[in-house]
Amino acid sequence: MKVKRSERLIDITYYLMEHPHKLVPLTLFAKRYESAKSSISEDLTIIKETFTKRGLGFLETVPGAAGGVRYVPKMTDEDIAAFIDELCEELNHSKRLLPGGYVYLSDMLGEPKWLRKIGRAIASKYMDKEVDSVMTVATKGVPIAQSVASYLNVPFVIVRRDSKVTEGSTVSINYVSGSSSDRVEKMELSRRSLEMGSKVVIVDDFLKGGGTVNGMISLIEEFNSEVVGATVIAENIFKGERSVTDYTSLLKVENVNSQDRTIEVVPGNFLQKGI
Amino acid sequence: MKVKRSERLIDITYYLMEHPHKLVPLTLFAKRYESAKSSISEDLTIIKETFTKRGLGFLETVPGAAGGVRYVPKMTDEDIAAFIDELCEELNHSKRLLPGGYVYLSDMLGEPKWLRKIGRAIASKYMDKEVDSVMTVATKGVPIAQSVASYLNVPFVIVRRDSKVTEGSTVSINYVSGSSSDRVEKMELSRRSLEMGSKVVIVDDFLKGGGTVNGMISLIEEFNSEVVGATVIAENIFKGERSVTDYTSLLKVENVNSQDRTIEVVPGNFLQKGI
């Protein structure tokens, strides 16, 4: 029995949201609902208009036999700017100030509501690029990587500072950690978790001197792979020259006064560098 | 201007998927679309029928002034059973065998596709219960906790074995780790990340002797909070008495033969213990 338009619209919306960034052939829906391709095309036009109107993302239609429809949950620059303002407001509180000029973020990185927005915003920058994998370093970066990866619909890989028995063989590198101390540390990645020749997006929570991001770049090179870009939630105050310059940040910690317990968080360079 | 039914169905579906497990008053939609509540009720009936028919979850309607609609993305027992079989098939491969009888899972725990299913399946067990928070231990459990938490739409908290500078003050406990060795280790949780009196679901990747889960239970007690349940992806082979008995597992590693490099993974007790 044919399926009604109303039911199709609901089910297609659900399906597209569960399969972002993936080309879905129209025949999949035509078979699923025993409907003509022309009806499915009309459904997709309605969905496309609604998504665009409501800022839910974009529907790309690829014509031809190998074609289909792709849901790209990209945010508009305006929506990202509004979200970054929302983040600033949330973070500009003395209660978030931690020793050493760090900002307490862990609660937000454990809130599905915030993670969805952070993930969608960061992913928006990479949606028009070819990406095979999202990389981060344990542990703070993991929720960010997971959320970004879910919107790009690609796997994410976790670089570790300690070896785990359940990982199998690993590739490790040494990197210069910390700002002034020039400590040399080790980070490693399971050999199975990243294919050679991958295109990788790096994400993390904070960037101070850039040592960790730099370490991940070296590790990506060890896998003969390519860095598509690096985005952090917040760049911290850092005096001196950073070992990484080519990154984007949603936020920038501009001022921290431990005595007054004041903190000033402003938008980072995320939107300046264009999407 | 009033919004057409087709547009409303798409936007409500999107909204409900982004806000699972949350009571949404009908007035929110009525205002959003400048439509009568009776029209919204009809929309919700159509969505409810479609969700049920296609196994996408359930729509609960709560009548009265304080009422509204709640999307519960619960899976049916049949769908969970089918998913567990799919997991078994994926894991019953010699290439997944790691030294010590461990099973390589990291790739799946980095795949949005698998994480959505794992999260939704585990969350299904707790959807009819009051849950304030999902807890896990760094690092392997984090993606699982994040996915379960997103379907329950509650925060997740990460217990750590190492102290982090950006965490603020923490509460720590000692626990007996490992099977035979009786090593005593430390785990800690940021004081800010869990409110006193919370109801907590524990999740993790593997359970061997149960020391880690037991540690988390002690930690939850330190926060005067309550354990709602504990679920792991897989229970490993363990000779001896486990320090935890009240847990559920999606899978059970039944046999591991390192010489033949064979592995046998079967369904765990997840469905036996009822949903």
Q: How far A102 CA lies from chain B's nearest CA (Å)?
A: 6
As annotated, the residues of chain A forming the CATH 3.40.50.2020 domain(s) are: 77-267
**Least confident span in A67-81, A134-148, A249-263:** A249-263
B window 131-160, beta carbon within 8 A of A: 138-140, 142-143, 146-147, 149-150, 153-158, 160
Token couple for B93: 């491969």
As annotated, the residues of chain A forming the CATH 1.10.10.10 domain(s) are: 5-72
- Check CB contact of B7 with chain A, cutoff 8 Å: yes
B35 to A84, A204, B1, B26: CA distances (angstroms): 32, 43, 9, 10
Average pLDDT for residues A93-115, to the nearest whole number?
Answer: 87
A155 contacts on B by Cβ (under 8 Å): 107, 110-112
A49 to A8, A26, B7, B50, B222: CA distances (angstroms): 16, 18, 9, 22, 52
Among B169, B166, B156, smallest CA distance to B119 is for: B156
**Least confident span in B29-33, B94-98, B146-150:** B94-98
**CA dist., res. B185 & res. B138, Å (int):** 14
DSSP for residue B3: P
Among B264, B194, B202, smallest CA distance to B233 is for: B202
pLDDT at B274: 61
B48 to A192, A257, B217: CA distances (angstroms): 42, 53, 38
**CA dist., res. B52 & res. B68, Å (int):** 18
Q: CB within 8 A of A47, min separation 6: which ones?
A: A9, A12, A13, A16, A59, B10
pLDDT-based confidence at residue A169 (cuts at 50, 70, 90): confident
Task: Count the neighbouring beta carbons within 10 Å of the beta carbon of residue A224.
Answer: 11
- Check CB contact of A192 with chain B, cutoff 8 Å: yes
Average pLDDT for residues A159-173, to the nearest whole number?
Answer: 79
Q: What is the largest CA-CA distance in chain B?
A: 71
Average pLDDT for residues B171-193, to the nearest whole number?
Answer: 83
Q: What are phi and psi of A165, to 5 degrees?
A: -65, -30
Q: Is the pLDDT of residue B179 over 60?
A: no
Sign of CA dihedral A217, B147, A25, A60: negative
Chain centroid to CA A214: how far? 18
**CA dist., res. A49 & res. B11, Å (int):** 11
CB pair distance less than 8 Å for A13 and B13: yes
Q: Is the pLDDT of residue B164 over 70?
A: no
Q: CB within 8 A of A259, min separation 6: which ones?
A: none
pLDDT at A4: 95
User: What are residue A71's DSSP bridge partners?
Assistant: A59
Q: What is the ipTM of this complex?
A: 0.92
pLDDT at A1: 65
Q: What is the mean pLDDT of chain A?
A: 92
Q: How far B31 CA lies from chain A's nearest CA (Å)?
A: 15
Question: Each residue of A50-87: b (16+ CB within 10 Å) or e?
Answer: bbeeeebbebeeeeeeeebbbbbbbbeeeebeebbeeb
What CA dihedral angle connects B136, B142, B143 and B146, to 10 degrees? 60
Contacts 24+ apart (CB under 8 A), A238-245: A238/A179, A238/A208, A238/A209, A239/A179, A240/A179, A240/A180, A240/A209, A242/A207, A242/A209, A242/A210, A243/A176, A243/A209, A243/A210, A243/A211, A243/A214, A244/A207, A244/A210, A244/A213, A244/A214, A244/A217, A245/A210
**Least confident span in A6-10, A38-42, B189-193:** B189-193
What percent of chain A lies above the pLDDT cut of 90? 72
**CA dist., res. A205 & res. B46, Å (int):** 42
Task: Count the neighbouring beta carbons within 10 Å of the beta carbon of residue B50.
Answer: 22
pLDDT at A166: 61
Q: How far B139 CA lies from chain A's nearest CA (Å)?
A: 6
Q: Is the pLDDT of residue B152 over 90?
A: yes
Average pLDDT for residues A195-211, to the nearest whole number?
Answer: 95
pLDDT-based confidence at residue B237 (cuts at 50, 70, 90): confident
Among A29, A142, A192, A253, the strongest candidate for a mutation testing the B interface, having the largest count of B CBs within 10 A, is: A142
**Domain covering A5-72 assigned CATH 1.10.10.10 in the classification:** yes
Helix axes B77-91, B112-124, angle to 10 degrees: 140
- Check CB contact of A197 with chain B, cutoff 8 Å: no
Amino acid (1-letter code) at residue B111:
E
User: What are residue A136's DSSP bridge partners?
Assistant: A158
- Check CB contact of A100 with chain B, cutoff 8 Å: yes
Q: How far A108 CA lies from chain B's nearest CA (Å)?
A: 9
pLDDT-based confidence at residue A164 (cuts at 50, 70, 90): low
What CA dihedral angle connects A111, A114, A118 and A123, to 10 degrees? 80
A97 to A178, A191, B22, B192: CA distances (angstroms): 20, 38, 31, 13
B window 209-228, beta carbon within 8 A of A: none
- Check CB contact of B47 with chain A, cutoff 8 Å: yes
Token couple for A204: 């993390």
Contact at 8 Å (CB) between A161 and A137? yes
CATH, range A77-267: 3.40.50.2020
Counting beta carbons within 10 angstroms of the beta carbon of residue A192, is it exposed (0 to 12), middle (13 to 18) or buried (19 or more)?
A: middle
pLDDT at B205: 94
**Least confident span in A14-23, A106-115, B46-55, B155-164:** B155-164
Contact at 8 Å (CB) between A97 and A107? no
Average pLDDT for residues B253-267, to the nearest whole number?
Answer: 88
Q: Is the pLDDT of residue A167 over 90?
A: no
CB pair distance less than 8 Å for B140 and A166: yes
B112 to A157, A158, B39: CA distances (angstroms): 11, 14, 36
Q: How far B270 CA lies from chain A's nearest CA (Å)?
A: 23
pLDDT at B29: 97
pLDDT-based confidence at residue B165 (cuts at 50, 70, 90): low
**Least confident span in A153-162, B64-73, B115-124, B168-177:** B168-177
